[in-house]
Amino acid sequence: GDSVTQMEGPVTLSEEAFLTINCTYTATGYPSLFWYVQYPGEGLQLLLKATKADDKGSNKGFEATYRKETTSFHLEKGSVQVSDSAVYFCALTTAGGTSYGKLTFGQGTILTVHP
Amino acid sequence: EAQVTQNPRYLITVTGKKLTVTCSQNMNHEYMSWYRQDPGLGLRQIYYSMNVEVTDKGDVPEGYKVSRKEKRNFPLILESPSPNQTSLYFCASRPTGERQPQHFGDGTRLSIL
């Protein structure tokens, strides 16, 4: 079956530091890839997505590139802010088969940014 | 405002007392789904619905029921809750198209004593 593996957290950074959260996947079909963010006490919000190889998703200064050859979708941001403190989830969905577009999630990475 | 609304947000209850968590979306989405979130496990799908009167099991359906009598509503029912169902629950919806991103509610934290 499909699976997503994220780097283990928690990740603690100082403001303006560079962020990388690693994400790799295995999928039986050709997946679409997502990063979701969960701020304290809130639901998941879509941060960015990519639907085919070499696509780069970007939003709010975050970026991730769909790398089919390494089955990866690492999240990066050049300069984090305190307001970026949240839990980040990598996820995939595949069309067809019996998944019907189910989202498969990684375990989540807690990011804390200090002033 | 486009949104997925869950109620209640928090609930503490006891083993065996039936409960229902409601979910409603105002985006006219065909697909709706329930997930549970547990530390170190990410989110796992409980049930999903492709459209009215069409539901199916996800990865962890044991102990849960759902119904989809109207397009906008997708309640999650725990007929005899047990402590291992203590978790954070999310409802989600998306439009037709399996690669479309899903929109999530704010979550319901259930504690079963």
Residue B84 to residues B22, B40, B70, B77, B80, Cα–Cα distance (Å): 20, 15, 30, 15, 11
What is the C-alpha to C-alpha distance for residues B78 and A88, in angstroms, rounded to an integer?
29
- CA-based nearest distance A15→chain B, Å: 26
Which among A49, A94, A107 is the nearest to B41, CB-wise? A107
Nearest to A49 among B50, B101, B107 (CB): B101
Residue A5: pLDDT above 80?
A: yes
A 57-86: CB under 8 A from B? none
**pLDDT at residue number B41:** 86
Task: For residue range B84-94, list pLDDT tens digits in order.
Answer: 999 999 999 99
Quick one: pLDDT at residue B100?
Answer: 80
Q: Residues in chain B with pLDDT < 70? A: none
Whether B104 and A44 lie within 8 Å, measured CB to CB = yes
Which residue is closest to A108 within chain B, CA to CA? Answer: B42
A34 in contact with B, Cβ within 8 Å: yes
Give residue B40's pLDDT.
Answer: 83
8 Å CB contact of B106 and A99? no
Of B48, B50, B101, the CB nearest to A34: B101
Q: Note whether B101 and B92 are within 8 A (CB).
A: no
User: What pLDDT is stored for residue A58 in this prediction?
Assistant: 97
| Secondary-structure percent of chain B, ordered helix, strand, coil, rounded to 5 | 5, 50, 45
How sure is the predictor about A34, in pLDDT bands with cuts at 50, 70 and 90?
A: very high
Please judge whether A43 and B58 are an interchain contact, meaning their C-beta atoms are less than 8 angstroms apart. no
Q: Which residue of B has its CA nearest to A31?
A: B99
DSSP code at position A24: E
